[in-house]
Structure 1
C-alpha cells in the first residue's frame, strides 16, 4: 500500500484514532510553550564562533566596555537650556536613582554628577585638580553657569554628556546584560514620571535611546504582537472562508489543521530549547496561510463533487486522490524553499527555515488525514446541512457568483489577448529587473518600531542634540609582540654574556626566565623587573650585573608601551581629527583626547597647549596625573594596561547599516592613503558594526539559498510533470512574482532588511503552489476534453476558483498585520498579501496566455500511460 492509499485509508477508516493522535501531539506541544524564551539580540544572528563576534566580545572584555541605555533630558523652553538649577537637580536625582538599580554598572555610569572636572591646581603650579563636576545639585543660576563653563572646557564631555547647544544632557547607563534593558527602562521611566510630577514647571522632556533598550523592548512587544496577530489573522481567514463556503462545519477543518500545525511546530521549537527570535516569532504567521491552502483546494473540490444523501467517502477519495500529488509537490517545494534557509550563516534564520519546513510537511499530513477524518465523522444530519454545497446548487451558485463571472471574463480575455498579455508581462519583468538593481540593503533595530513609537521619537530627538547614540569602536593593536619578546630575550642574554665573571648571573637569569616562559611580552617585562631587583638585593657580589640588566629591562618596558610613543599617538590623533571633520561621524573620543586635555591643564590651562605631550615620558607622566582622578579606570576603556592596543570610540547619529558601512569605507580610504604604522593592525567592534556583519551575511546567505532552492524546485517540476516545458511553465509565476515583488521594493525605496529577505522563501513556496495546481488540472482536463477552448472554460471554474479563494483568503486574512505597532509584522503582512495576489494573477492570466501561444498542445499535455490510467480511475471513482 502506497503512502497516499495508507493515509487516505487511515483518515476514512479510523477517524477517531486520527483525532486522538492529533490531540495528543497538540497537548504535548502546548505543554512546552510556557517555557518560551524570547531573544532579539542581533549579536545572536551570528554564530558564537564567528570571527567578528569573537573579536567584538574580546574588545568588550579587554576594554571593560558594556552595552548602555542612554537617557536624555531636553529643555528647549528655558533660556539657559539644561543649565538651570531645576533641570540639573532633576538630572542629579535621576542619576542617583539609576545608580541604585540592580543590573547597572554603577562605577562606569556617566552623568554630570559622576564625572570629574579637570582643571589646573591653584595651589601648586604645574599640577592639576580633579573634582566632581556636580557633586551636589546647584541651587543658583551662578552655580549652574559654573558647571556649564567647566563642561565646555572638557572636549571629552562636549556633545557627549551635554549637547553643544546646551539644550540637552545625557546619562550613559552601562548595564550588566542587554536582557535587562527593558526592565531597567521601566524602572527608569517610573523615576522620570515621579520627577515630572514633582517639578511640572521645569519644562523637562525625558527620552531613552540606545540599541540595547530598542532590541529588548522589541522582544517584549514582539511576544505580545505574536499573541495578538496570529489569532487575528486566523480569525480573518476563518471569516473569509465562511464567506466562500457558507458552512461552519466545513471551514472548521482547515482551521483545526492550521492551529494544530502552528502549535505542534512552535512546541517542537521551544521544547528543543531554542529561543524565539524575531524570525521564529513569525512562524505562526508564515505557517497559517500555507496550512490552509491545501485545505481550501480540498474543500472547493469536495463542495463541487458531494451530493447530499450520499456517503462522503467516494467524493473524498476522488478529491484526495486527485489532489494528493499536486498538494504533495507543493508542500515539498514550499518546504524546500524554507529548508534552504538552513544554508545561510545566520543561526536564527536556520532554525526558522527548518521549523517552517517541518510545519509545512506536518500541515500536508494533517490536511490529507484530519480534514477527511473530520468530514467522514460528521453525522448524516450534519452532512445534510451541507445542502448549500450540493453538486447542482454549488456549481450553479459558483458559476453565477461575481467571482465566477469575473474569472470567466478573465479566461476569455487571457486567450483573446494572449500575445499582448505576454508582451506586457515581459515589459513588467524587465522594469522589475531594473527596480531590483535599485534595492538598498539596510537595517536598524530602532526602525523595527513605527515612526510614532516612543523609542523612534527618542532616537530622533537625542541624535538631533547629541553627537550620536550609536557606538562603534575602531581598535588599533600592536602585533608581532612574540617576535619582540624573542629578540629582547636574545639581546638580554647577549648583554650578560658580554660581561666578565657572569656565569652565575647567566645561570640565575636562565632560571628566572624559565619561570616566566609562558608570559606575554608585557607581563614578562613587568615580572622580570621585580625579580631582577630582588636578585640584585640577594646577590650583592654581582649587583652591578643585575642593575645593568634591570636598566635594560626598564628601558624595554618603557619602549614596549607603544601607544605612548609620539609616532603612535600622532597617527591616532591624525585619524581622529580626520573622522571628526567627517559628516559621517558625530564625535570620537580616545586616549588622545584624554592626553591632550590633561596635558593642557598641566601646562597652565592655555588652549594653545591642547596638544599631545612631546615624548613618551611626558605622555606617561600625563597618564600618571590622570590616575589621581575619581575615575582612574576610565583610562582602560581607551587603552589596555600594556598600552599595546587602543580603542577609538565613535558616536554615530544613525544606526543604519548603510551609515556604518560608509564610515567603514571612510576609514579604509584613509588607511589606504595613510598606511597603518608597521606591525599595527586595525579592526572594528561595537553593536552598530555587528549589525552590518550579520546583515551582509544574511543577504549573501539568502541569495545563495534562494538560488539553490530555485533550481531544486525546477528539477522537482521536471520530475512532477515529466515534461521540461510544463516544468518551465510551472516556474513562470514564481519567477515573475519574485522579480515583481523585489522590483517593487526597489522602486518604493523600501530597505532590504531581514523580513524582506525571508519573504523570498515564502514567495518560492506559494507562487509555485498555484502553478502546480493549475497545470496539473489543465493537463488532466485537456486529456479528458481533447480541446483547448473546452479546457480553458473548465479551468476557469473549479481550479481558478480554488486558486482565487486561496489568494483572497490569505491576502485579506493577514491585513490585521498592517495595524501592528512593529514594522517587521507590517512588512510581512503587506508583502505576503502582495505575493499571494501577484502569484495568483500571474497564474490565472499569464499561464493560459503563454500556453495559448504553444501550437502542439497534445505534446505539451501528453501524459504517461500510468498517469492516464490513474486519471481515468479517479474519474470513475466519483
Structure 2
C-alpha cells in the first residue's frame, strides 16, 4: 500500500480533494448560544419550555443605561434626545416593547374613572421639578441607584435568531450614533452573542495563524531540514482544511469551543508525524534505502499510530455521551476532525516523502540523547520503591486537595474580567440590581382559586420580601405588582401606596384589576388566574452562591409559606445554566467512563490481556488526579468547561502509553527478555514520546493566551496533563510492567 506507485495515487487523490475545497469554498458560520449549555436530560428544561409557551422567554431583552455627559440627568434637552432614541428603537423590526421612565405612565383612579399620568413630565420646568422628585420607587429599576442614569428596557422578539439579533443590535447602535449619545452600559442576549461571535472570529484566525507559526518553529528545531519542515506543514494545513471543510459542509457552525480546534488538529497530527519521521530517520541512518525505509516505516507504524489517533478521537467523542449540547457538538466534531487529520497524513505524507529529496542531518538527534534516557532507565530500576511511593504520595495528596474543589460557574466566565462586556454587566449588577434573569413559576394550591385571592397575595408578599433580602434590591414583577399598582392608582398615584392593600381595599379594586389585566403586556399571570411568574433580575453571583440562595429560599418557602395556597418552582435560563455547572461531576463521570471503557477494549484487544488493559489505565489515570491538585493550587474551580478537559486529556495522554506498549510488544515478539525489551523500548520510543510531549505542550500552551476562559483553561490544564502523563509513562509504567515478567515472556515465547 505504501510503495511508490500507490503513494503517488493517494497523493493525487488528496490534491484533487483539496482543489475541490478551493472550487466549492465552504463558508463558515459563527454562532454562540449559551442555551446549548443547558443539560438536555433534565425535567427542568422541559418545564421551562412549557413555561416559555405560557409566558415568555426570560432572556430576550436588552438593557440600555443612559447618562447625561453634559450635566444633570433630568434636563429637558437630554430627556428629549433620550426619548427620540427610545421612539426610534421602538420602530425597529423585531422589537416588541420599549419601557423606560420616559414613557411610563401611572394609572390614576378618581371620581371620573381611570386616567393615566406621565411618571416623568418635562413639558415645562414646574412639571419636571414636581415629577422628578417623586421617582424614588423606581430606583434600581428604571433609574440607577446613584441617580446618574436611566434604564431603557428593550424587549425584542421571542427566540430571535442569531442573524436577526445581529441586524437588530446593529440598528440600535446606529440609532445611538445618529443621536450623538453613547450608552453608559449595554447588556443583553443580542449584544453578548454578537460581541462573543466577533471575538471568536478574531481569535479563530489568530490561533490558526499562530498554530502554523508554532508548528513551523517546532519543525525547524526538531528536523533542521527542508523536507522535515515542508512535508509536515503541507500535511497539517491540508488536514485542517479538510476537517473544517467537512464540518462546515455538514452544517456545523463554529462556536466558542471551535476556537481551539485548529490547534488541536495540528498538534495531534504533528505528534503522529513525529513517530513516523523519527522512525524513518533511524532506518535511513542504519543504511536502509529511502524507498524501502518509507514503505517499512508506514507498514510498521500504521497500526499503533492509528490506535493512538483513535483513542484521541474517542476521548473527544466520549463527550457526546454527556447531556450538554455544546459539549456534544465539540466532542463529535473534534473527534471527527482528528480522524480526518490521520486520513490526510496517510494520503499525503508517503507521496511527498517519495517526491522530496531527503538528506539526514546529524543534528536531528540533538534534542534527545540515548545516554540521557539510558541513565534515567538505569536510575529508575535502582529506585523502584522510591518512585512508586512518590507517585502514590503525590496522588493521594492530590485526591485530598481535589476533594475540596468547589463547583462554580458564571454566565460570562469565558471572558476576562476587564472585557467591556464584563464591565457593562457589572454596572447593571451594581446600579440596577443585576443583569441576569431570575424566574420563579407560581401556581395556586388546593386551598385557593386564584393568584389574586387576598390570602395568596399575602403569601406572595412574603416570598418577594425574602427574594429582596437574599438577592438584592432589584425590581420584581409578579401578580402582586399589578395589585400594588392598582392600590397606588386608587390613592392618586402616591408612591407610598405602592404596597400590599388591606383586605377591604383589595375587594374594591376588582373591576380595575380586570381592566389592568386586559391592558397589561407584562405576562405575569395566566388567563385563568391560576398560574403566574415572579420575575426579577439579579447579579451574576456564580452557580455556587446562587445555589445556596435558592436553597435558602426553598427552605423559607417550606417553613413559612402555606403550600395549600401557593406552589413555587424555580425555572429560567440562569437556573438551567447553573444546573449545568452543578452537573459537572456527572458529566465528567459519563465522559471518562465511556473513554475508559473504549480505551480498555482497544488495549485489551491489542494485547489479548485484560490485565494489561487495566494496568495501562493506571499511568493515564494518575495525571487526571494530579490535575485536581494543580487546580486547587491555582485556584481554578470546577465548571463545565474545566470538567470536560479531564476526558480530553485522558484521550490524548493515553497515546504515548499505546506507543510504548506497541513497541514493547514488538521487542518481546523478537524473543527478547522483558528487561532488555523495556530498555530498547525506553530508548527508542522514549525519544518520540518526549518529542510529542514537547509538541503537545507547546501547542496547547498557545491557547493560554486566549481571552475565552474555556480556551485558556484548555491550554493550561491539558499542557500540564501532558507533562504529568510523560512522567507517568516513562517513570511509572515500566515499573508496573516488571512484576508481570513471567506472563510477558510466556505470552511472546512462541511469537
Is 2:116 the counterpart of 1:130? Answer: yes
Match of 2:93? 102
Note if contact 1:233-1:815 (Cα within 8 Å) is conserved in structure 2: no
Deviation at 1:144, TM superposition (A): 5.2
Note if contact 1:800-1:844 (Cα within 8 Å) is conserved in structure 2: yes
Match of 1:332? 310
Match of 1:750? 636
Choose which of 242, 246, 263 in structure 1 pairs with 2:241. Answer: 263
Match of 2:263? 285
Deviation at 1:324, TM superposition (A): 2.6
Deviation at 1:584, TM superposition (A): 6.1
Deviation at 1:608, TM superposition (A): 6.3
Deviation at 1:65, TM superposition (A): 5.0
Note if contact 2:260-2:703 (Cα within 8 Å) is conserved in structure 1: no
Deviation at 1:838, TM superposition (A): 1.9
Match of 2:104? 115
Match of 2:410? 444
Deviation at 1:654, TM superposition (A): 0.9
| C-alpha distance after superposition, 1:774-825 (max 9, x if no partner) | 2332444466684666556544543222111111112113433222232222
Q: How does 1:350-361 map to 2 (within 5 A)?
A: 350-361=328-339
Match of 1:516? none
Match of 1:721? 607
Is 2:64 the counterpart of 1:71? Answer: yes
How far, CA to CA, are the matches of 1:674 and 1:416 in structure 2? 69
| C-alpha distance after superposition, 1:372-413 (max 9, x if no partner) | 2221233xxx22xx231xxxx36xx52x54666654554344
How far, CA to CA, are the matches of 1:85 and 1:678 in structure 2? 52
Is 2:746 the counterpart of 1:859? Answer: no
Match of 2:715? 829
Match of 1:684? 570
| C-alpha distance after superposition, 1:84-133 (max 9, x if no partner) | 5565455334323432333322xx21212121135x56xx4596642233
Match of 1:150? 134
The structure whose Rg is larger is 1
Choose which of 699, 712, 716 in structure 2 pairs with 1:813. Answer: 699
- Aligned positions, number: 745
TM-score (norm 2): 0.89
Q: How does 1:249-328 map to 2 (within 5 A)?
A: 249-280=227-258, 282-307=260-285, 311-328=289-306
Note if contact 2:26-2:249 (Cα within 8 Å) is conserved in structure 1: no
Note if contact 1:346-1:694 (Cα within 8 Å) is conserved in structure 2: yes
Is 2:20 the counterpart of 1:42? Answer: no
Deviation at 1:428, TM superposition (A): 1.4
Note if contact 2:402-2:628 (Cα within 8 Å) is conserved in structure 1: yes
Deviation at 1:71, TM superposition (A): 1.4
Is 2:496 the counterpart of 1:610? Answer: no
Structure 2 unaligned regions, length at least 5: none
Match of 1:4? none
Other structure's SS at 1:637 match: coil
Note if contact 1:29-1:266 (Cα within 8 Å) is conserved in structure 2: no
Deviation at 1:52, TM superposition (A): 3.5
Is 2:373 the counterpart of 1:376? Answer: no
Match of 1:532? none
Is 2:145 the counterpart of 1:164? Answer: yes
Deviation at 1:296, TM superposition (A): 0.9
How far, CA to CA, are the matches of 1:30 and 1:473 in structure 2? 49
| C-alpha distance after superposition, 1:545-585 (max 9, x if no partner) | xxxxxxxxxxxxxx95x122112222212111121122467
How far, CA to CA, are the matches of 2:639 and 2:225 in structure 1? 41
Match of 1:434? 400
How far, CA to CA, are the matches of 2:469 and 2:183 in structure 1? 30
Q: 1:846 to 1:112 in 2, by over 3 A?
A: same
Note if contact 1:346-1:698 (Cα within 8 Å) is conserved in structure 2: no
Q: 1:425 to 1:104 in 2, by over 3 A?
A: same
Q: 1:625 to 1:342 in 2, by over 3 A?
A: closer
Note if contact 1:585-1:651 (Cα within 8 Å) is conserved in structure 2: no
Q: 1:861 to 1:270 in 2, by over 3 A?
A: farther
Deviation at 1:206, TM superposition (A): 1.1
Other structure's SS at 1:230 match: helix
Q: How does 1:413-812 map to 2 (within 5 A)?
A: 413-478=379-444, 562-583=450-471, 586-603=474-491, 605=494, 607=496, 610-612=499-501, 614=503, 617-624=507-514, 626=516, 632-634=519-521, 636-654=522-540, 656-674=542-560, 677-678=563-564, 681-696=567-582, 699-781=585-667, 786=672, 791=677, 794-812=680-698
Note if contact 1:237-1:810 (Cα within 8 Å) is conserved in structure 2: no
How far, CA to CA, are the matches of 1:57 and 1:189 in structure 2? 31
How far, CA to CA, are the matches of 1:755 and 1:252 in structure 2? 35
How far, CA to CA, are the matches of 2:529 and 2:614 in structure 1? 64
Match of 1:173? 154
Note if contact 2:436-2:537 (Cα within 8 Å) is conserved in structure 1: yes
Deviation at 1:475, TM superposition (A): 1.3
How far, CA to CA, are the matches of 2:748 and 2:573 in structure 1? 59
Match of 2:14? 22
How far, CA to CA, are the matches of 2:267 and 2:459 in structure 1? 58
How far, CA to CA, are the matches of 2:329 and 2:340 in structure 1? 16
TM-score (norm 1): 0.77
Moved more, 854-863 or 751-760: 854-863
Note if contact 2:120-2:132 (Cα within 8 Å) is conserved in structure 1: no
Choose which of 10, 13, 17 in structure 1 pairs with 2:5. Answer: 13
Q: 1:585 to 1:610 in 2, by over 3 A?
A: closer
Q: 1:744 to 1:826 in 2, by over 3 A?
A: same
Q: 1:210 to 1:749 in 2, by over 3 A?
A: farther
Deviation at 1:587, TM superposition (A): 4.3
Match of 2:82? 91
Note if contact 2:30-2:253 (Cα within 8 Å) is conserved in structure 1: yes
Other structure's SS at 2:423 match: helix
Q: 1:207 to 1:181 in 2, by over 3 A?
A: farther
Other structure's SS at 2:381 match: helix
Note if contact 1:438-1:747 (Cα within 8 Å) is conserved in structure 2: no
